[in-house]
Structure 1
Amino acid sequence: MKVGNRLTIYIIIGLVAGIIIGSVFNLMSEQAWVQWIDQYIFNLVGQLFLSMIFMMVVPVVFISIVLGVVGVGDPKTLGGLGIKTLAFYLTTTAIAISLAIIVALVLQPGEGQSELLDSSEVEEYRETELEGSTGEAIEQTFDQTIINIIPTNVIEAMGAANMLQIIAFAVFIGIAMIAVKDKVPGLIRLFEEANEVVMWIVLAIMKYFAAIGAFGLVATAFTQAGFGAIQQLGMYFVCVLLALFIHFAVVYGSAVQFLAKKSFLWFVKGFAPAIGVAFSTSSSSAVLPISMETAQNNLKVKKSISSFVQPLGATINMDGTAIMQGVATVFIAQLSGVDLTVMEMATVVIIAVVASIGTAGVPGVGLVMLAMVLTAVGLDPAAIGIIIGIDRLLDMTRTAVNVTGDATIALVLNEQEKRIVANGKVKA
């Protein structure tokens, strides 16, 4: 069972139908029958699909990382792969937020709209979010983030779907299996067989539920948000989408074309099913099982590389989210009449890159990270309430960019390894 072109077409049809029907229903969103359909059809179908995918995330990540480490076969090689992966991810994230800041400075989305700071949404966000869980998240320091990479309770980490802790534990298990490989052939075979089972379930979910699930998620998003909220924040919306497109086409396109030496159109066509599901779910973690299978089957990325690079990317590579943070920070600074200095803009880049490490790949998490960035440069994080109305629509797009970045780096590293082996520098 593979992710094929026909499924891609079905997902695209589901996405387009969801956007159209959701936008039409948004015009009648006050009607009781529209709310009933949204809650009991669109949302129900979408959430069932999302739950089925989330159900498989932890077993897929854990098993895949273990097999990926075992597949690499040498802890030194694994360390080299890890360093390259981390370097690529942090570099692209820094490029993403720098690009976003430049776009926002040029287009100036917040000029002449200072009255937005007096809106009820700002005070509501301050009362409901900043005094609750978001405030706790902002207080977590960098050293705590690093310490929290190692789980003190593996079962609890899996129950909470803490991806970074699960990856860390899986890497330890994989290295231990390499060290005693001759003594545990049965255990390795058990992991391989378990991988076949969980991936079969993932592909069955994709085959039978992806298109209708994508339709439901997008339809409910557009029914609730629609395009009406974009009118007042139109330039902000344009800035984010423009920066996302430039990063997607230029940065990822150049990496695929010049580093992987592959056609970017071939890449987009092959990875389209995962991009479609990412757009509908707004969750890098939820789409991870599909993005891995798509990369392995359609882009021909080795399982040992895909199984290590993409789960790590779903945890630390947030290029699309970084772009939103860059544009939003400049936007809110312009609303506040604040001219960010070069040092403050550099601080935004550094904080956003560091904050992306270990951030959960779930819908809306970018707003938590944005609060950290705004606080770091002395801006009021309550101003996030201004953009929250259209963030759901932008979240869908930036998640698609996030997972595309993970696949891009996996492909680049895969092709680099092929060339090294072909040149005889390393024995295959």
Structure 2
Amino acid sequence: MKLHNQIFISMAVAALFGAFTTLESQIFGVPVIAVYDTIGQLFINGLQMIVVPLITSAMISSLTNLGEGRDLGRLGGKSVAYYMTTSLIAILIGVAVANTFTPGVINGEPAGDRLGLADNTAEVLARIEGRGAGDFAGVILQLLPANLLEAAVKGQLLGLIVFSLLFGYFLRQVPGNSGQALRDAIDGLYQTMIKLTMFIIRFTPIGVFGLIAATVTRTGLAAIQPLLWFFLCVLLALLLHSAVALTLLVRVLAKRSPLRLARAMAPALLTAFSTASSAAALPLNMQSIRHRAGVSKRTTSFVLPLGCTINMDGTALYECMVVLFIAQAYGLELSFGMQFMIVFTALLTSIGVASIPAASLVAITLILGIVGLPAQAIGLVLVTDRLLDMCRTAVNVWSDGVAAVLIARSEGEQDVLMREPEAANT
């Protein structure tokens, strides 16, 4: 059975189990939720364990196999241009949907009083207390970490990527047997990491079961009813961006089938959805794009790790929609200039969002401050945050895959998406 079919079945079974268990349910005296959490966390730990060596070996190996030095600047320029453009498109789609359907207004009245703040609002505010614009300025410092091992432990991928780029660039210039031996060793490390990645990926259906079952047990479907209209509006915006805007880019610019790309990326997308982590889905995404979509190792190893760090289409869209929803719920009418400021801030904060703990919440509170709303207002949307986090993470990963295909085609790669994923080497 194909991996994505196994994951689909696992998600369905997990939703069923989660629907019939509660936080108080036990089996042989052990809380069922603890079993779900353990299964899911083991899978997440396995994926996160390989992220650092996979990214560093992949990017260094990719750099050493590039043609001339200007190839690096060309690939980097194309990647950053794509990430900024699609993030801006996503934000504008979010603004359009929020202004058209006004999810913060119910029967012509602001919905703030009806919704109320979530029970864990104080807990969330405590997590982001003391954070602010200075945190995002600190992203610049993460470009050159003083301690690379500490950056790796903290999961600061931006610093690791910069180090890998520099290391790979200068390794290209080391002549003789010593340079070639090191290049061969790193390539061997990369190939080993690919095999280890595939070993961990075999357990994806089991890990997905634990993650989805735990989420359904904790959240349930009834929890989103008070925020159902907002929930559906965000889903609509994410769908428009992923299924229309990004799909058109694949069809028009890459001249390839978006459906074939979706089938190639199915395991990675389902993993991103269930884990709500772009970093956790990165190993499987690299494998899917490389072997199932036919993108070269050179492009895959450069574009995807970079995209995992700075390409956050779904997150940027969500940040913007949350602020507009809260403003509507409080009865605040925002001018065009204020909405432009929200768009600009969401675009900037989304770049470093993966590198800072609770960064999406920090970004939202920053924008709320610009609008003139209290940080406590974030409590209006906490109930649906986990489910929407899963959705927007899948959009982030889909955008990374589209970037890899577009850049590969612009680099003249002809084998991209030219065969069915089932026939590709998995």
TM over 0.5: yes
The verdict on how the C-alpha distance between 1:143 and 1:75 changes in structure 2, with shifts beyond 3 A counting, is farther
* Equivalent residue, structure 1, for 2:6: 10
Which residue does the alignment assign to 1:21?
A: 17
Change (3 A) 1:147 1:420: farther
| SS across alignment from 2:412 | helix
Distance 1:381 1:74, change over 3 A: farther
Whether 1:67 aligns to 2:65 is no
Deviation (angstroms), 1:291: 0.4
Q: Equivalent residue for 1:192? A: 187
Cα deviation for residue 142 of structure 1 reads: 5.0
Deviation at 1:32, TM superposition (A): 5.0
1:11 Cα deviation from its structure 2 partner: 1.1
Q: 1:129 to 1:37 in 2, by over 3 A?
A: closer
What is the CA-CA distance between 1:51 and the residue it aligns to? 0.5
How far has the Cα of 1:210 moved from its partner? Answer: 0.5
* Structure-2 change in CA distance of 1:345 and 1:35 (3 Å): farther
Which of 282, 289, 301 in structure 2 is aligned with 1:307? 301
Over 3 Å counting, the alpha-carbon distance change for 1:254 and 1:364 in structure 2 is farther
CA RMSD of aligned residues (A): 2.2
Percent pairwise identity? 34
Change (3 A) 1:366 1:142: closer
> What does 1:270-419 correspond to in 2, within 5 Å?
270-360=264-354, 365-418=359-412
Instruction: Say which of 253, 266, 274 aligns to 2:260.
Output: 266
Distance apart, 1:119 and its partner CA: 3.5
2:156 maps to 1:158 = no
2:28 and 2:255 map into 1 onto residues whose CA distance is 49
Q: Which amino acid counterpart does residue 263 of structure 1 have in structure 2?
A: S
| CA distance in 2: counterparts of 1:140 and 1:46, whole angstroms | 34
Conserved 8 A contact 1:22-1:222? yes
Equivalent residues in 2 for 1:92-171, closer than 5 Å: 92-111=86-105, 112=109, 113-116=111-114, 118-119=116-117, 121=119, 124-125=120-121, 127-130=122-125, 132-140=126-134, 142-171=136-165
Task: From the superposition, tell whether residues 120 and 390 of structure 1 become closer, same or farther in structure 2 (CA, over 3 Å).
Answer: closer
2:70 is equivalent to residue 91 of structure 1: no
Higher helix share: 1
Contact between 2:13 and 2:209, CA under 8 Å: does it hold in 1? yes
Which of 19, 37, 41 is the aligned partner of 1:43?
Answer: 37
- CA distance in structure 2 between the aligned counterparts of 1:396 and 1:375, rounded to whole angstroms: 26
Q: Is the 8 A contact 1:89 1:317 kept in 2?
A: yes
Q: Is the 8 A contact 1:218 1:280 kept in 2?
A: yes
Cα gap change, 1:363 to 1:356, in 2 (>3 Å): same
Do the aligned partners of residues 379 and 261 (structure 1) sit closer, same or farther apart at CA in structure 2, a change above 3 Å counting? same
Q: Which amino acid aligns with 2:100?
A: V
Deviations 1:166-207 (A, max 9, x none): 001111101111122545000000001111111111100111
Write the letter of the residue equivalent to 2:241.
H
State the Cα distance separating 1:364 from its structure 2 match. Answer: 5.9
Unaligned runs of 5+ in 1: 422-428
Q: Separation in 2 of the partners of 1:253 and 1:20?
A: 32
Residue pair 1:270, 1:299 contacting (<8 A) in 2 also? yes
Q: Are the structure 2 counterparts of residues 204 and 32 from structure 1 closer, same or farther at C-alpha, using a change threshold of 3 Å?
A: closer
The Cα shift of 1:375 comes to 2.1
1:265 and 1:35 map into 2 onto residues whose CA distance is 47
Which residue identity is paired with 1:57? V
Q: Secondary structure at the match of 2:131?
A: helix
Residue 59 of structure 1 aligns to a residue whose secondary structure is helix
Does the aligned pair in 1 maintain the 2:142–2:156 contact within 8 Å? no
**Structure 1's 34 and 84: CA in aligned 2 closer, same or farther, altered over 3 A?**
farther
Distance 1:17 1:195 in 2: 35
Mapped contact 1:283–1:399 kept (Cα < 8 A): yes
